[in-house]
Amino acid sequence: MDQRELMTLQHYLKEYGQQAEIFVSQLELLENGRMEALAAIEALEGMLVSEDGNVLLQIGGGASVRAKVTEPEKIFLSIGAEVVVERSNKEAVEFLKERIMEMEASQKKVSETLDRLRSQMNEINKRLESGYQQSMAAGQDED
């Protein structure tokens, strides 16, 4: 294996590593979205069983306030592209469950792609290692 081929393999390995980082980031985003949707479902279901209509409302940064929900059956959902629609509590929960299923399917596809990419990276690593060993052996033969 010549020097040019070794450099080409190193280049591919670097590119694959960058792609792997992107896929890992996508997995993190999908998992965060899934967890947010699960928390929203829990909150929506909790609003229906609250006797006095009081719930804890997260306002960000780990802070929450006690809030009274006057209409727990009217939920505003962001459905994408900055479009918000009003749905019943039950419809909102179903929408979020469907969104979770979509995210889980996307997570599976991204994970499979990441696994294939890592497999290719392992193969390149093996070829590089073999190439380096051949280079070292050839260098020792010349001595």
User: What tens digit of pLDDT does each residue of 34-51 get?
Assistant: 999 998 999 898 888 888
> pLDDT-derived band of residue 53, with 50, 70 and 90 as boundaries?
confident
d(CA 89, CA 96): 11
Domains of the chain, each with CATH number or no CATH: 3-127 (1.10.287.370)
Global confidence as pTM = 0.78
Residue 37 CB partners (closer than 8 Å, separation 6+): 96, 97, 99, 100, 103
